[in-house]
Structure 1
Amino acid sequence: MDRKRVPGPELSVAPLVEYPIDHERWTPQQEKRHDPKRQPEDLRPIYLKTGLISQASGSAYIELENTKLACGVYGPRPVKKIGQGFSGMGVLNCDFKFATFACVKRRNNTRQDPQEKELSQILSQALAPAVRLELLPKSVIDVYITVLESDGWGSCLAAAITAASVALAHAGIEMLDLVAGCSASYMQIGPSISSTTTETSSSSGAGNPITPQIQIFMDADTEEEKYEQGAIVLAYMPSLNEVTHLLQNGKAEGPIINQSVEHCMEACNKVYAVMHHALLESMKESKDA
């Protein structure tokens, strides 16, 4: 820095950063989550509102505490690609994008990164079985998701599925059923694997070995996802009792995965009631207007 042109202050004071005295880093414990108000099977409170984007055919805004995103649906409209022949099925295009300020690490605002492209494809696969694309030949439906704040990768994807389904219904597009999304994470509770093997070898076969427990946390946030051994995201149509998409990562035994799927299906039924209420409220507002 050129001090002749840009003189600095004569005196400077270091900033004071105060941390709470009782600040402790959260670690996974049985029946205790990062949010002490929630039990392992509880979801975060959901706020869902339609009609946020006036220029779109249908729109929805969803908020789960620190997870906030907006969805806009445009179409159906004719395909404008030159050289594309007649298609008896409509096309569902999904665009998933994080805002620049949505995550702790600043995101690129110009183009999609590989994670956003993957989430766009997953979102399209989760919604396509519920939309009557056979009734929209040579047409395209564009779904745009913008994440304003992200608090958990799984919950963000599940919220995008829920908001996109409500936005499609708000746009008047014929669907077989609404698609509700839910996520679940499973993590080890109790002693770690290394400590378990150490205690077992030191006991020299005396006593029963300590076996770690696996706890399922529904709708995990970012802090809880740091300790997860695996997670699933389920897209489910409650009225038809059909799963449109299931995404699983990490390692887990079959019974744990089956239990996670059952918990997600029960949670989707609760989310389904919120989706119905939001659509009914939008119909009442349109009638009053």
Structure 2
Amino acid sequence: MADRRRINGPIGATTPPVYEAVPKRPAAKQQPAMRKIFLKTGVTPSASGSAYLELENPNQTSPQKTSLKLACTVHGPRALPRSAPFSPHIILTTHVKYAPFATRKRHGYLRDSSERDLGVHLETALRGAIIADRWPKSGVDIIVTIIEGDQDRDAPHNEDDQGWDMMNVLSGCITVASAAIADAGIDCVDTVAGGVAALVSRDDAAQPVIVVDPVVAENQKIHAACCVAYLPTRDEVTNVWFKGQLPGADILLYNKMVEKSLIACRSANRVVIQGLNETVKNVQNTT
């Protein structure tokens, strides 16, 4: 009599199942135009978490050429004032500010419209990564200081090309803020990273091409640019900022720009993971 309390095995011999191996997708090749990223966490001991990011200068013979240097500090999580209404999730506040000497055009002490736009996009990108319901009635302040903007200081000031460097600045702000949040010990579903792709023309006779991590000073004209905030492990996009105009409003060209931006996001995320691993090893060695 069969035992009904357990699942009996087959009576005769069986053949183990054979699963078809799914071929892995070829990894996207990193374009040589992508600049190297330097990232270090724990640069501000007084803050809950901090990070510093710097992009490699593409022209080593001229130190005055374009570069990007960012510093981020995270303060919190901390309790909200008693007068504040109850919030079941954490209140995220982002503040992006150019240093007065960061770009060719000197910035004042009060935030202008471009800095407020960067703060709004940064908050949207980070909100999708932080597990907000683990910190009820709490607040966290994320402050990003742009020490040097992504502009060529030797080039004359041109009103037509203003704003393209903001795409690279936002990408760096997302990456450095993600590292600072992880350094502060705030729970996140994944590390978010930023990446940029642009449709550029080298000269008047050349056809527009899509490049990853574009350098504004090296291209004669930029038709459109796309900045993406991406969670690599979850394969989710938390923010997309597109600027410019595509020829013929080609949706396929738009999709290619987003795909190229994801390549830059994955490259930046590897730098974030490596920087956090080095921080953990240093803490373990000191203890």
Range of TM-score over shorter length = 0.7 to 0.9
Superposition TM-score, scaled by structure 2 size: 0.76
The answer on 1:214 being equivalent to 2:220 is no
Q: Whole-Å Cα distance in 2 between the matches of residues 100 and 177 of structure 1?
A: 33
Q: CA deviation at 1:84?
A: 2.4
Do 2:224 and 2:242's aligned partners in 1 also have CA atoms closer than 8 Å?
A: yes
Q: CA deviation at 1:191?
A: 4.2
Among candidates 152, 156, 169, match of residue 156 of structure 1: 169
Q: How does 1:65-214 map to 2 (within 5 A)?
A: 65=56, 66-80=67-81, 83-108=83-108, 110-151=109-150, 152-188=165-201, 191=204, 213-214=207-208
Q: How does 1:14-93 map to 2 (within 5 A)?
A: 42-65=33-56, 66-80=67-81, 83-93=83-93
Question: Any stretches of 5+ residues in structure 2 without a counterpart?
Answer: 1-29, 57-66, 151-164
SS of 1:85's partner is coil
Q: CA deviation at 1:153?
A: 2.0
The answer on 1:285 being equivalent to 2:279 is no
Q: CA deviation at 1:272?
A: 1.3
Do 1:184 and 1:218's aligned partners in 2 also have CA atoms closer than 8 Å?
A: yes
The answer on 1:234 being equivalent to 2:234 is no
Q: CA deviation at 1:83?
A: 3.6
Write the deviation string for residues 155-196 of structure 1: whole angstroms up to 9, x where unpaired: 11101100000100110000000001011111245646xxxx
Q: Whole-Å Cα distance in 2 between the matches of residues 74 and 269 of structure 1?
A: 27
Q: CA deviation at 1:226?
A: 6.0
Q: CA deviation at 1:227?
A: 1.3
Question: Any stretches of 5+ residues in structure 1 without a counterpart?
Answer: 1-38, 193-211
Q: CA deviation at 1:274?
A: 1.0
Q: 1:229 to 1:40 in 2, by over 3 A?
A: farther
Q: What is the match of residue 266 of structure 1?
A: 263
SS of 2:211's partner is strand
Do 1:75 and 1:142's aligned partners in 2 also have CA atoms closer than 8 Å?
A: yes
Q: Whole-Å Cα distance in 1 between the matches of residues 90 and 253 of structure 2?
A: 38
Q: Whole-Å Cα distance in 2 between the matches of residues 100 and 136 of structure 1?
A: 35
Q: Whole-Å Cα distance in 2 between the matches of residues 226 and 154 of structure 1?
A: 17
RMSD: 1.7
